[in-house]
Amino acid sequence: MRVIPLCVVALGGWLTMPALAADDAFQWLKRLAEAEHQQSYAGDFVYQRNGSFSTHAIWQRVAGGEVRERLLQLDGSAVEVAMVDGRPVCATQGLVPGAASGNGLGGDRFDPRVLTQSYELRVIGDSRVAGRDTVALAILPRDQHRYGMELHLDRATGLPLKSLLLNEQGQLLERFQYTRLDVGDVTPETLRTGTGCKTVEVPPAREPQPVEWRSDWLPPGFEQLESDVRSSPAADESVAWLSYGDGLARFSVFIEPLRGEVVQDARSQMGPTVAVSKRVTVDDGDVMVTVVGEIPLGTAERIALSMRKAPGLAQQ
């Protein structure tokens, strides 16, 4: 009879262990979410994907409830961006309309709770990045409609020092990794941008235009973040734009009328980003639906084919 309670204890302990590991990972992600808004730091990082490798320097200064950031590309042309509370204030290169407006619905602010709906979180062990002790987390997709991530967080601050995006076969799609991180005081001088960094004009605030499109099918966990009507990059046409996210992955849908033009479907992949264009027939002529995002190709195709026109419908 003495064996039974022991068994219960042992079994109970064994059952709760994975739960604790997940809970631990969740706590780490919460720490990450806080650190990015409270921590001043400076560092260098590399970004690598299929066909691209670049090095960057970053400075972040948090003072008076304001987060100021400066990012400078270290190789090739000196691409530079300065941001205040995540909104670009100066940039060496032209930004797309909407990038500077900051009129996002704010729905995509990193929230570990949203993440757990679509991903399983695990602490996978200790690691070391940029000469600092880090904890390695696995963010594993619960289905085949999104990629997994290996995330290494600084033990001292919770800052993400390394992230690897992996496809379902475990192949590396992209690497983001710090090579140096200095935590603490960042002087305002270091945040001063070069002369090539041109002030970003903030367009007058306007309500996003209603989009007469909706998705018939979405991968579980993805929700619409924003939508708007923009002008076509190549023709005098209006393009309906919708963006979706699951708390980690994002994709955008662009819908442009073809006006009788014969254009074939297309697919392309740039590292983690896939672009799928599908011709969809609606009552008033064909349109080209283009899905761009960090999602598997098959999922993007299915989304493209699931877009439906719903006149009079907006923000749904």
Task: Check residue 254 for interaction with another protein (CB under 8 A).
Answer: yes
Task: Check residue 45 for interaction with another protein (CB under 8 A).
Answer: yes
Task: Check residue 99 for interaction with another protein (CB under 8 A).
Answer: yes
Cα 88 from Cα 90, distance rounded (Å): 6
Cα 280 from Cα 213, distance rounded (Å): 12
- Tell which positions 12-31 bind another protein, by CB under 8 A: 18, 21
The helix (run of H) or strand (run of E) holding residue 117 is helix 112-118
Task: Check residue 65 for interaction with another protein (CB under 8 A).
Answer: no
Stretch that binds another protein, among 80-88, 187-195, 204-212, 306-314 (CB under 8 A): 80-88
Task: Check residue 210 for interaction with another protein (CB under 8 A).
Answer: no
Stretch that binds another protein, among 2-10, 106-114, 207-215, 308-316 (CB under 8 A): 106-114
CA angle 134, 157, 118 (to 5 degrees): 70
- Tell which positions 273-292 bind another protein, by CB under 8 A: 273-275, 277, 288, 290, 292
> Which amino acid, one-letter code, is at 196?
G
Task: Give residue 222's Cα distance to chain centre.
Answer: 13
Task: Check residue 217 for interaction with another protein (CB under 8 A).
Answer: no
Closest CA to 228 of 91, 63, 46, 99: 99
Task: Check residue 42 for interaction with another protein (CB under 8 A).
Answer: no
* Residues contacting another protein: total by CB under 8 A: 103
> Which amino acid, one-letter code, is at 129?
V
Give the C-alpha distances (Å, rounded to integers) separating 117 from 104, 220, 239, 278, 311: 22, 9, 31, 29, 31
Task: Check residue 110 for interaction with another protein (CB under 8 A).
Answer: yes
What does the CA dihedral 77, 83, 86, 88 come to, rounded to 10 degrees? -70
Q: Are 41 and 156 in contact (CB under 8 A)?
A: no
Stretch that binds another protein, among 8-16, 82-90, 182-190, 205-213 (CB under 8 A): 82-90
Binding mask 153-182 for another protein (x = CB under 8 A): -------x--xx-xxxxxxxxxxx------
Q: In the complex with another protein, which residue's Cβ is closer, 73 or 179?
A: 73
- Shortest distance, position 312 Cβ to another protein, whole Å: 26
Which residue's structure tokens are 């042992």? 10
Binding mask 114-143 for another protein (x = CB under 8 A): --------x-xxxx--------x-x-x---
